[in-house]
């Protein structure tokens, strides 16, 4: 028996699977989802912030217009609806305190109140950005009306209560001229 053994060599070749992958179009990894949500959130936040900034810009412009209009109205009211006591103010140009006006300022204690709270009056007038002496006068009279409600001005309310023939409308010009003179004394650059 002739045994011929034939050696069978089996070569093994790697089997490559050609099966389609199971990923679909909508399958994302967790990282992809987080990046997508993060980027869209940042974009949405930026758009939201942009809208709010636009609203703030519009609001600033509107507030500026309102401030200008309120200033025009208040300047008009201060200059055209004041009654001044001719015994306390000389109606020359510019208005000037008479001797009785100076005594009135001292009698009610406004000179002391002004010296103690001078910064508030000066800041108020400075906040009006006066360029002319007329602007300072209007702002000084307006400062009396504006600061009238402060606790350090209560003496004026007591005076007005005890003197019903007087009102803030006829006292403010006298006190305002006193404040004007002090302001102009500290601001020699205002010459007209």
Alpha-carbon distance 136 to 125, whole Å? Answer: 7
Number of domains in the chain: 2
Length of the chain: 192
Question: Is 131 part of any domain?
Answer: yes
pLDDT at 19: 47
pLDDT at 163: 94
Q: What is the mean pLDDT of the chain?
A: 81
Q: Residue 184: is its pLDDT beyond 90?
A: yes
Residues 169/82, Cβ–Cβ less than 8 Å: yes
**SS3 at position 189:** coil
Question: Is 50 part of any domain?
Answer: yes
Backbone angles phi, psi at 97, to 5 degrees: -70, 135
Name the range with the highest mean pLDDT among 31-40, 66-75, 154-163. Answer: 154-163
Question: Is 191 part of any domain?
Answer: no
Query: Is the peptide bond preceding residue 94 cis, with omega within 30 degrees of 0?
Result: yes
- Sorted by sequence, the CB contacts under 8 Å of residue 144 that are 6+ apart come out as 168, 171, 172, 175, 176, 179
**178, burial (CB in 10 Å: exposed 0-12, middle 13-18, buried 19+):** buried
Question: What's the mean pLDDT in 36-55?
Answer: 86
Residues 110/156, Cβ–Cβ less than 8 Å: yes
Domain range for 77 is: 43-81
Same domain (yes/no): 177, 116:
yes
Give CA angle at 53 (72, 37), nearest 5°. 165
Question: Is 137 part of any domain?
Answer: yes
pTM: 0.60
Q: Residue 116: is its pLDDT beyond 80?
A: yes
pLDDT at 136: 94
């Amino acid at each position: 028996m002739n045994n011929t053994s034939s050696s069978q060599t089996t070569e093994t070749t790697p089997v490559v699977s050609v099966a389609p992958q199971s990923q679909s179009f909508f399958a994302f990894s967790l990282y992809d989802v987080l990046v997508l949500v993060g980027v869209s959130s940042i974009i949405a936040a930026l758009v939201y912030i942009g809208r709010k900034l636009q609203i703030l810009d519009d609001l600033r412009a509107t507030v500026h217009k309102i401030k200008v209009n309120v200033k025009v109205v208040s300047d008009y009211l201060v200059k055209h609806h004041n009654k001044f006591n001719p015994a306390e103010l000389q109606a020359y140009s510019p208005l000037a305190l008479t001797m009785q006006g100076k005594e009135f300022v001292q009698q009610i204690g406004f000179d002391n109140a002004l010296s103690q709270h001078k910064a508030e009056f000066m800041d108020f007038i400075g906040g009006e950005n006066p360029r002319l002496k007329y602007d300072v006068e209007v702002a000084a009279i307006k400062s009396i009306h504006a600061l009238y409600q402060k606790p350090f001005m209560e003496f004026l309310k007591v005076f007005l209560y005890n003197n019903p023939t007087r009102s803030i409308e006829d006292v403010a010009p006298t006190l305002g001229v006193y404040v004007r003179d002090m302001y102009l004394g500290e601001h020699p650059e205002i010459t007209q």
